Amino acid sequence: MTVHLNGKLDNNAANMVVDVFGRWNGSNYAFSKPPIAISLLENPDELYKYERRRMTRLDGQTRLYELFRPNEHIARHRFYMLAGYVLRHEQLDEKGKIKRIITIDDWRQPRPGPNPGFDDRLLKTTAPRLIAHQVYHRVYDVDANGRPTLVALSWNRSLRNPLKSTPLSMADLVFGTPDGKEQWKTRDEFDKAFDTSEDARQVFPDRPSDEEDSF
C-alpha cells in the first residue's frame, strides 16, 4: 500500500528537499509490515502507528528514501537514489543529527531545502596518495559540532585514465583508508564496517536482498 501524505511529524528541514522550481512536493509512504487499516485513508495521522518508508522526489528521477519506526519521527538512515542506485547515504543519531555521510562519485545535494542538516561545502574529497586512481565511495564521520572527517574510500585499483571514467560496476575496487592502504577485502566487509549497503536495505527491510530494484 502506497499513499501520498504529508506526514508533518516526520518532516524536518533536511528531508523537505525541493524541486527545480524551489517547491517541496510532499512525500509518498509505503508500509513495510502490512496489513494496514483502511481507516488510514480517512485519518492520515494513523500512519504514525506503523513502520513506514517515506519517498520524496528531488526531480524526475532522483529519490530520497527514509524508514520510520512505529511512533518515531526520526529516520536513522537517508538514501538518495537514482534508478535503483545509491548516490548518497546519510546516517543520523537518536536526535536526528547526521553522524555519517557516504557519497558515491562525490554526489552532492543539488537542492537541499531550507536549513539543511549539513553543509556539503565542508566535505573534503581529496586523498593525495590516491590522486592517480578514480575514487568512488567516500565515508565521512561527522562529529557533534558538524565537522566531517574523511575516514574511508573505495577506489579503482587501476591507474586513472584522464580521458576516461570507469563505471563503478566495472571497476576493480579497493576498500581502504585515505592514506591509500587497503583495509577491507570485500564490499561486504566494507558495508558491515560502516552499516551501509548497495541496495539500501536499511530502508527496505521488506524487500528480499536479491530482488531486482524497481523505482
The C-alpha cell at 57 is 522526489
Kindly report which listed range (6-20, 93-107, 200-214) carries the lowest average pLDDT score.
200-214
Does residue 24 fall inside a structural domain?
Answer: yes
Contacts of 101 (CB under 8 A, 6+ apart): 88, 89, 90, 91, 118, 123, 139, 140, 142, 148
Q: What is the pLDDT of residue 113?
A: 65
Q: At 19, phi and psi to the nearest 5?
A: -90, -170
Does residue 86 fall inside a structural domain?
Answer: yes
Indicate the pTM of the whole model: 0.90
For the chain, the distance separating the N- and C-terminal CA atoms, rounded to the nearest angstrom, is 15
Count the domains in the chain. 1
Strands (E), 14-117: 27-31, 52-57, 62-68, 77-82, 85-92, 98-104
Does residue 210 fall inside a structural domain?
Answer: no
Please give the residue range of the domain that contains residue 105. 2-203
Enter the DSSP assignment of 164. B
Higher pLDDT, 93 or 1: 93
Does residue 193 fall inside a structural domain?
Answer: yes
